[in-house]
Amino acid sequence: MSETSPKLRAELDGVPTYKPGKAAAADGPVAYKLSSNENPYPPLPGVMERVVAAAQAFNRYPDMACTGLMNELADRFGVPVTHLATGTGSVGVAQQLLQSTSGPGDEVVYAWRSFEAYPIITRISGATPVQVPLTAGEVHDLDAMADAVTDRTRLIFVCNPNNPTGTVVRRAELERFLDRVPSDVLVVLDEAYREFIRDPEVPDGVEIYRERPNVAVLRTFSKAYGLAGLRVGFAIAHEPVAAALRKTAVPFGVTQLAQDAAVASLRAEDELLGRVGALVGERARVYEGLVKQGWSVPETQANFVWLRLGERTADFAAVCEKAGVVVRPFPGEGVRITIGETEANDLLLHTADAFLKAM
Ligand code: PMP
For 314-346, the pLDDT digits (tens) are 999 999 999 999 999 999 999 999 999 999 999
Distances (CA, A) of 155 to 39, 107, 163: 30, 7, 18
Q: Ligand 1 pocket check: which of 33, 37, 91 to mutate, most ligand atoms within 8 Å of Cβ?
A: 91
Q: Given this model, what pLDDT does residue 288 score?
A: 98
Alpha carbon of 90 to ligand 1 centroid (Å): 6
**Ligand 1 centroid vs 35 CA: distance in angstroms?**
13
Pick the closest to residue 305 from 337, 346, 330, 329 (CA basis): 337
Q: Is any atom of ligand 1 closer than 6 Å to the C-beta of 157?
A: no
Q: Cα–chain-centroid distance for residue 229?
A: 14
Atom of ligand 1 nearest to the CA of 221: 16
2 class by beta-carbon count within 10 Å (0-12 exposed, 13-18 middle, 19+ buried)? exposed
pLDDT at 152: 98
> How far is Cα 15 from Cα 143, in angstroms, rounded to an integer?
28
Question: How far apart are the C-alpha atoms of 24 and 33, rounded to whole Å?
Answer: 5
Give distance in angstroms: CA of 257 to centre of ligand 1.
19
Specify the DSSP class assigned to residue 31: -
pLDDT in tens, 38-96: 999 998 889 999 999 999 999 999 999 999 999 999 999 999 999 999 999 999 999 99
Q: Which of 308, 263, 277 is nearest to 290 (CA)?
A: 308
Give the pLDDT of residue 20.
86
| Ligand 1: centre distance to CA 134 (Å) | 19
Residue 258, pLDDT score? 98
> Is 91 close to ligand 1, i.e. is its CB under 6 Å away?
yes
Q: CB–CB of 124/264 below 8 Å?
A: no
pLDDT value of position 153: 98
Quick check: CB of 222 below 6 Å from ligand 1?
Answer: yes
Q: What is the DSSP string of 130-167?
A: EEEEPPTTSS--HHHHHHT--TTEEEEEEESSPTTT--
Per-residue pLDDT, averaged over 109-116, amounts to 98
Total number of residues shown for the chain: 359
The reported pLDDT for the residue numbered 28 is 64
Q: Is the CB of 228 under 6 A from ligand 1?
A: yes
- Ligand 1 nearest atom to the CA of residue 233, by list position: 16
Instruction: Provide the pLDDT for residue 23.
Output: 83
Long-range contacts of 105-109 (CB under 8 A, 24+ apart): 105/152, 106/152, 106/153, 106/154, 106/155, 107/150, 107/152, 107/153, 107/154, 108/153, 108/154, 108/155, 108/156, 108/157, 109/145, 109/148, 109/149, 109/153, 109/155, 109/156, 109/157
Q: What is the mean pLDDT of residues 175-202?
A: 98
Torsion of CA 112, 118, 123, 129, to 10 degrees: -30
For 227-242, how does the pLDDT look when each residue is reduced to its tens digit (9 = 90+)?
999 999 999 999 999 9
Residue 345: helix, strand or coil by DSSP? helix
DSSP 8-state symbol, 116: T
pLDDT above 90: percentage of residues in the chain: 91
**Could you tell me if the CB of 37 is within 6 A of ligand 1?**
yes
Reported as a single tens digit per residue, the pLDDT across 145-178 is 999 999 999 999 999 999 999 999 999 999 999 9
> Quick check: 216 and 187 in contact, CB under 8 A?
yes
Distance 192 CA to ligand 1 centre (A): 6
Phi and psi (nearest 5°) for 278?
A: -65, -40
167 CB-near residues (< 8 Å, 6+ apart): 134, 137, 138, 139, 140, 161, 298, 299, 300, 301
Question: CA-CA distance, 33 to 23, in Å (whole number)?
Answer: 6
Using DSSP, state whether 236 is helix, strand or coil: strand
345 pocket-lining for ligand 1 (C-beta < 6 Å): no
